[in-house]
Structure 1
């Protein structure tokens, strides 16, 4: 039996990977599914999991599983992801993975023997930063996305997910009933992506729900031309309707309490400083407390874009890329964990997670760890050492309770 677990801890593991995927231009980290940085982290996870004496395999959708005991039905599963948004924080995803490794190491040191199989999972493409669909690994696993559609998703270089997955050694991908049937319960630990725990002065919370959310692609086509020789009156500039979309998203969300609408990504083609774009793509992210509010925000933005495009002599389309309804985590599991952890706070979130995708198929729960900055999807996101320690201790208690 390997004894590496005797000295393994979450803070040390985070230090081991802190140099992987640093983004010199954006700050923070850029680690995208199956790129060099994410592959390095995958290999690192496999090595660390095997050092704990866990059996490791990768499923047909690129999700990595590390098993304590023989894989089988009713397993207690924990874990998160290793990919990031462009220029993201060090803990978004990896905190859940290193905490799971640390928790298993602590349980082994204590002599604990789980009565059910226990597994750590690393999901592929949680952020959707390479292929545009968030939680792609868990969506494929659970059948929440059609594999034919997933295969045609294209990254910034023009490569399809099918091509990249093939290069990564995956064969056919899609719903995996065998893997899904093994999950008795899934608990995901994640750095909190907001100020809830800061305001409550608490290190850990249990998740209650995830807001409705979706992504829409806005395409505006105009006429590319010379920035210096084309009179203003002669222009058909798609950047103006795109700019109208940015302002419309803020206004539409402001009119509906608790809603969020963001355009954080614009791609002008051809993208020259002295060139009027021929087309512009923009991505709209909307999150709200109800489907009615979500759809109303999108409709408002689409109407503003259509009016601005008509005024500029452009053409515009708005196409839904993904949508998830409100997720309410299993209430019995939520209450059981909150009680086992001594009555910690119960908080909702506006951030999507693999646990939210799996909630439609198996009982799921989330543990949130305090983020002192309250900032997320940016280099400033993170968790302080005391909160990380509290999060690992909470995960250990949760695994004991459920196993």
Structure 2
């Protein structure tokens, strides 16, 4: 709340963090876990929560919790994340956090006293922008990602998650499934900016989520022979960039042939990366998503076959590693219908975007609310939500929390 105790809108709260993590090179924001920018956002959230009289706790997996009243079991929890993809938009993640704070302000202004505990959570590294695996905080909390594997993950500088977490003041030895914290969550509701144009087509400001399609990330490592760009004849080369480029084309062709498939190469890193150097290794990351009943792994297998053939033709090798995978996630049907009725028969939308809510959906009743994005663009600076829709989203979230906890 403001210094004089007045409630703050979600739009005003977004303004408070608008300068944190701005990326001058890419545009948008780069706010990755345990970086200076993400640390500033954690501090901001803790201060905003304490100003509202909330009790702030950091769990064993570096997720931040703010409790309205005494922490306890069967809590109604809302929240999202504050990290971003490289050069991401201003709303993906933070909108769910500021809307939760604004919703708590509205409940307080209404004199609401919950009968169930209420909490806001900020999950760590939802986007996987630093260590490549999405939803790290919620996966560690639930035990769907082994702590041993997570702590060994390396960022682009070669630093492990264990090292950077320790440097940020956390205890990596405590990372892993957290029965106590997970056991407190009775219901989870995540508000998020829509990452598509569904609400634009429906001419509606708010929707309730139905589920998330299967998706995963794979790393293709092509290796050949590094050499001099000016002295090595074309017929003497074993250049891993060639099969890597062939793979990018294969991804587009394979996905275009399967209805509703989405497959993307958004990151390609050559080693050593010099302009006048034939690369010795090229790492390519594939993001693939495919609704049921198709199998996303079948699509990846087809792409892998093409990648292996291209590597062999160039005299190179390729290794493929699955870095993450989430099957189809369906949100709790009874909770979905309750929220839809509460919000005036709001439309129901599926999504191809992953969220911490999808991880938690296996363990607790979970729901999502989407706020209209008139640009239809996400994971880019053009991501947007209209201030009036943001206000409605936080008001609707307050209505939901009041119903669930009252």
TM-score bracket, shorter-length normalisation? over 0.9
Q: Aligned pairs, how many?
A: 403
- Larger deviation: 284-293 or 250-259? 284-293
CA distance in 1 between partners of 2:5 and 2:235 (Å): 70
Instruction: Tell me which residue corresponds to 1:281.
Output: 283
Instruction: Tell me which residue corresponds to 2:68.
Output: 68
1:304 aligns with one of 306, 309, 329: 306
Aligned residue runs from structure 1 range 2-401, under 5 A: 5-171=5-171, 172-290=174-292, 292-401=294-403
**CA deviations over 1:15-41 (Å, ceiling 9, x no partner):** 110000000000000000010000000
Contact 1:291–1:325 under 8 Å retained in 2: no
* Deviation, structure 1 residue 2: 9.4
- Secondary structure of the residue aligned to 1:319 is strand
**CA deviations over 1:354-377 (Å, ceiling 9, x no partner):** 000000111110000000100010
CA distance in 2 between partners of 1:101 and 1:7 (Å): 9
CA distance in 1 between partners of 2:15 and 2:56 (Å): 23
Contact 2:87–2:381 under 8 Å retained in 1: yes
* Deviation, structure 1 residue 169: 2.1
What is the TM-score normalised by the length of structure 1?
0.98
* Deviation, structure 1 residue 163: 1.1
CA distance in 2 between partners of 1:195 and 1:133 (Å): 26
* Deviation, structure 1 residue 293: 2.8
CA distance in 2 between partners of 1:41 and 1:146 (Å): 27
- Secondary structure of the residue aligned to 1:6 is coil
**CA deviations over 1:313-355 (Å, ceiling 9, x no partner):** 0001111111110000000000000000000000000000000
Moved over 3 A (4+): 1-5
**CA deviations over 1:27-61 (Å, ceiling 9, x no partner):** 00000001000000000000000001100000000
CA distance in 2 between partners of 1:252 and 1:191 (Å): 29
What is the TM-score normalised by the length of structure 2?
0.98
**CA deviations over 1:111-159 (Å, ceiling 9, x no partner):** 0111110000000000001111100000000001000001100011111
The 3 A distance-change label for structure 1 pair 4 and 298 is farther
- Secondary structure of the residue aligned to 2:295 is helix
The 3 A distance-change label for structure 1 pair 115 and 3 is farther
CA distance in 1 between partners of 2:231 and 2:249 (Å): 28
C-alpha root-mean-square deviation of aligned residues, in Å? 1.2
CA distance in 2 between partners of 1:382 and 1:181 (Å): 35
- Larger deviation: 154-163 or 86-95? 154-163
CA distance in 2 between partners of 1:382 and 1:121 (Å): 23
Q: Which runs of 5+ in 1 are unaligned?
A: none
* Deviation, structure 1 residue 287: 0.4
CA distance in 2 between partners of 1:351 and 1:160 (Å): 26
Q: Which runs of 5+ in 2 are unaligned?
A: none
- Secondary structure of the residue aligned to 1:382 is coil
